[in-house]
Amino acid sequence: MKIKSLLLLCITLLITECTKVGISVNNLSENHNITITGNSISGFMDKDSRIYDMSRIPENGSIIFYSNGGIKSEGDILSYINGEWTGLTNNQWNQDYESASFIAYYPIIRDVNDLYNDDGELIDVVCCKDTISFGETINLSFTHIFTKFTINIEQELNNNIELISINIPQKLANIDLTTGKYSTTADNNNLITLNRNDNCIYEFLIPSISGMNISFDINFNDNTS
């Protein structure tokens, strides 16, 4: 009788222990850290361009990052350190979603006013927008959101130029940073000026919209235009 009782006790202990281990394993929640890499920029690769001479965001660069779905971010500032972007407020995937939609910008912009420099020219902003499945590594590859306009002038004529005045009849009115979509408004006073340069190439950025007529005046050093 004692042998049967001891045997029953051993079996009970074994079953209890296995049950405890099973519950422990089933209740473990895996850590799904978010990994963001990549800093390449496509387009505008002209080595002599006054607008752009980078093919990558620099190591010490920062971006602004928005995302919904499996990754939640409402404008976190991320820094590029040792090949990865760090700085997410919540660095865990939300397991209630199968995917995440994100968009990132460089340099950091917060509203439409950040898109123009002090001279009234559009600045070169790049962005990366995509949707990825749960748990995937995000690899950022940036493209320009504005169009580069180039005027090439022959050397003999360029030698006598003082400056070029350009009228861009559309100006940005708003930008939705969560989607990357922007709108423009008519503005006939939207003028920029470019001083003469020796390479005979004059470049500036314009909104990427169709049907816009751009006018410009070339002013020469003899007061003619």
Q: Tell me: the pLDDT tens digits for 29-85?
A: 456 899 999 999 987 655 555 555 568 998 889 999 999 999 999 999 999 999 999
Q: Give the residue among 65, 64, 54, 49 at the shortest CA–CA distance from 205.
A: 49
Residues 41, 133 share a domain: yes
As for how many domains the chain has, the answer is 2
User: What pLDDT shows up at residue 42?
Assistant: 87
| Domain of residue 179, residue span | 148-220
Dihedral, CA of residue 48, residue 52, residue 55 and residue 57, to nearest 10:
150
User: What pLDDT shows up at residue 187?
Assistant: 93
Q: Per the domain annotation, does 20 fall within a domain?
A: no
Alpha helices in the chain (DSSP H): 2-26, 155-158
Q: Which string of DSSP letters, residue by residue, matches 158-175?
A: HTTEEEEEEE--EEEEEE
User: What pLDDT shows up at residue 30?
Assistant: 55
Residues 136, 162 share a domain: no
- Name the stretches of the chain with pLDDT < 50: 1-29
* Alpha-carbon gap, residue 14 to 31, rounded angstroms: 30
User: What pLDDT shows up at residue 152?
Assistant: 93
User: What pLDDT shows up at residue 60?
Assistant: 86
Q: Per the domain annotation, does 7 fall within a domain?
A: no
Residues 206, 170 share a domain: yes
User: What pLDDT shows up at residue 7?
Assistant: 34
Q: Which of 145, 166, 184 is the last residue of a domain?
A: 145
Amino acid (1-letter code) at residue 193: T
CA of 67: how far to CAs of 27, 99, 138, 203, in Å?
A: 29, 11, 12, 33
Q: Per the domain annotation, does 24 fall within a domain?
A: no
Here the CATH number for the domain that contains residue 76 is 2.60.40
Q: What is the DSSP letter of 30?
A: P
Q: Per the domain annotation, does 154 fall within a domain?
A: yes
User: What pLDDT shows up at residue 2?
Assistant: 40
User: What pLDDT shows up at residue 24?
Assistant: 27
* Alpha-carbon gap, residue 159 to 191, rounded angstroms: 23
Residues 129, 41 share a domain: yes
Q: Which residue is associated with the tokens 């950025």?
A: 205
Torsion sign over Cα 206, 212, 218, 219: negative
Residues 192, 105 share a domain: no
Q: Which of 118, 145, 172 is the last residue of a domain?
A: 145
* Alpha-carbon gap, residue 89 to 6, rounded angstroms: 56
User: What pLDDT shows up at residue 169?
Assistant: 95
Q: Per the domain annotation, does 28 fall within a domain?
A: no
